[in-house]
Structure 1
Amino acid sequence: MSRPSDLRFRATTAFQRYLANPITRRLPLQTVLETTGRVSGLPRQTPVGGSRVGDSFWLVSEFGEKSQYVRNIKANPAVRVRIRGRWHTGTAHLMPDDDPVARLRHLPRGNSAAVRALGTRLLTVRVDLDA
């Protein structure tokens, strides 16, 4: 990773971790992805933007496999997603062959614009929701 993109990654993740995420994950209608911490084993909740399509929930990680929630998914793909205030269990799948820029065109605009602007290694994630 180049120095400017590394700096962008560190600045963005610090802002999200310490300011944005603690506030937004408490908003009742904010979509939240809950993974299991790969080291701690504790639930980790991350506000995300994405969209439910049938029995799947789609999102794009702005920093790909460097994102903590993606690293957690690699260790344990069992997740929960809070959509419109209701929790759903599911299994997350990393989709490296999917075109994340094309995928963002079908996801909520505000979040997609931020992911495109700040992201350095976009990666599509699909969560297959349990019935």
Structure 2
Amino acid sequence: MVTKLRDLQHRVVTTGQRYIGNPIISRLPIQTLLETTGRKSGQPRITPIGGRRSGDSYWLVSEFGEKSQYIRNIQANNHVRLRIRGRWHSGIAHLLPDDDARTRLRELPRANSAVVRAVGTDLLTVRIDLS
């Protein structure tokens, strides 16, 4: 029963993000964007994300872990680009399943962290080392 509810929550949230939220949010110049390479198509895929830069790293928490398409793309090719404050940076993404994602969210921007906590079903920390 719990698995079915999580799957339904995942479908509802990702459908809303894909067709409503992401197309609007990605156009905002201040929005941080993650560019991955599609694991099947090989084409660039852009995802609005929330997190925080700390030195030469950028930290974020994926609300659906390995179910997230951008996480699956990172698993296939961890070379990514990140647009922070309008400027693109290259980086290498690392999935950190042993990191305590809930604790990590306390270090990230409050509004985004609140949404991730509210809708997330399988939290996963990601660190992107910027070059």
> Paired residue for 1:75?
76
Dislocated runs of 4+, deviation >4 Å: none
Deviation, 1:20, is: 0.4
Instruction: Tell me if 1:119 matches 2:108.
Output: no
Deviation, 1:101, is: 0.2
Deviation, 1:26, is: 1.0
Deviation, 1:48, is: 0.3
Q: Distance in 1 between matches of 2:24 and 2:69?
A: 18
Q: Distance in 1 between matches of 2:68 and 2:105?
A: 17
Aligned residues: CA RMSD: 0.7
> Paired residue for 2:54?
53
> Paired residue for 1:21?
22
Give the TM-score normalised by structure 2.
0.98
Q: Distance in 2 between matches of 1:109 and 1:84?
A: 18
Q: Distance in 1 between matches of 2:26 and 2:42?
A: 19
- For this pair of structures, how many residues does the alignment match? 130
CA deviation digits over 1:46-104, x for unaligned, max 9? 00000000000000000000000000000000000111111100000000010000000
The amino acid across from 2:96 in the alignment is M
Q: Percent identity?
A: 68
Which secondary structure state, in structure 2, belongs to the residue aligned with residue 26 of structure 1?
coil
